[in-house]
Amino acid sequence: MKFTISKSEFIKGLNIVSRAISTKTTIPILTGLKIIATNQSLILTGSDADISIETTIKASNPDNLLAVESEGAIVLPARFFTEIVKKLPEDTLTIEITDNFQTVITSGSASFTINGLDANNYPHLPEIDSSNSLPIAGDVLKQIISETIVAVSNQESRPILTGVHFTMDNENILAVATDSHRLSQRKVAMKQPFEHTYDFVLPGKSLSELSKMIDDSKDDILLSVTENQALFVIGETLFYSRLLEGNYPDTSRLIPDSFDTRVSFEASSLLATVERASLLSHESRNNVIKMIINPEDNSVTIYGNSPDVGVVQENIEPISLEGNQLEISFNPDYMKDALRSLSQTAINVDFTSALRPFTLMPTEDGESFVQLITPIRTF
């Protein structure tokens, strides 16, 4: 195998597939990067068994400066190889495989020889039929991920909760995440009806990496799902993720359908107040702040008490307030995550009682986005 390629375009491809490569894998060859050279393209693959990423650099694109002299395949140590390529002196580089998988990398006056591995020993990527793929706008998918991933659990004792539950029918995409203390639910109407239905749970780690690969364009990403794998096609890149096994809990019954007290806020102003209160709560062992709602004088007070440090108290002016008087305590970090995902909008915060979960929803199109937080008993 021998080819010459643009250094900058090659580094872009290496950075993409490196997202899937881990040094902490039980399969040694997966610490490597697989390279396949054909007459038409260069195919780069990285995997940690849970996530696999394959990207194609085409000879037909003049920016790639790709010229393949002889075809072949090799697996190279990913981290070490990528560092070498980044530090090469010229704008192009040549890679040639000699006997016993030795790989010679040359650029200008610099030359490296490193040991490679037989590409035939690299695990095969899943075979997924993409003929029934579902198109999702890239900016919409990225938004869904950012708005739900905050509530994913990081406790391995309940593996199914470490993912986001997606259900898709011919009208809507519904994504839900919960760690049993909070919940985030996002519903998006489909641009075009789709004849298939999907129901699967994607690991939060996979979605985090996928989100970094999606730019904010409205270009469609194609999704295909099998029994235990999902495939996202982003331009010339294929992103594979294993699915989590098991039944996701029925979360629909957790969201209250009525309220006793409703307060409307500017999300940014409530976030700033909670951030100030959490400066003291983080110094306390229990990390709790209290919200005191008084409809009689239309006031809302955020209160925090850290015995070792001091007390914080701040009044925040609501847009509107209706219902009963209430004192409720909660984890300020959960509230901050929820408010950040709701972005700069006016929101309704709906309460039923001091010990029942409360919801945060945009005042407009509220049913499409729900954040739910379980309060903390302080008495």
Task: Return the CATH number of 134-242, one of 3.10.150.10, 2.40.160.60, 3.40.50.1820, 3.90.1710.10.
Answer: 3.10.150.10
- What CATH code is assigned to 255-373? 3.70.10.10
- Write the DSSP symbol of residue 64: G
pLDDT at 278 over 70: yes
Q: Which residues of 24-42 are buried (b: 16+ CB within 10 A; e: fewer)?
A: eeeeeebbbbbbbbeeebb
Of all residues in the chain, the percent with pLDDT exceeding 90 is 78
Whole-number CA gyration radius for the chain: 26
**pLDDT of 306-343, one tens digit each?**
877 889 999 999 999 999 999 999 999 999 999 999 87
Rounded to 5 degrees, what are φ and ψ at 165?
A: -90, 120
- How many Å apart are CA 329 and CA 303, to the nearest integer? 9
Dihedral sign, CA of 137, 143, 147, 152? positive
Q: Where are the domains of the chain?
A: 2-121, 134-242, 255-373
Q: Is 286 helix (H, G, I), strand (E, B) or coil?
A: coil
The reply to whether the predicted model has a pTM over 0.85 is: yes
Burial of 132 (0-12, 13-18, 19+ CB in 10 A): exposed
255-373 has the same fold as 2-121: no
**Per-residue model confidence as pLDDT tens digits over 340-358:** 998 778 999 999 999 999 9
Give the chain's end-to-end CA distance (angstroms, integer).
Answer: 71
The CATH number corresponding to 2-121 among 3.40.50.2300, 3.10.150.10, 3.30.70.890, 3.40.50.10490 equals: 3.10.150.10
- pLDDT for 1-43, tens place per residue? 999 999 999 999 999 999 999 888 889 999 999 999 999 999 9
pLDDT value for 379: 61
For the stretch 197-255, pLDDT in tens is 889 999 999 999 999 999 877 788 999 999 899 999 999 999 999 999 999 999 988 99
Alpha-carbon gap, residue 282 to 84, rounded angstroms: 43
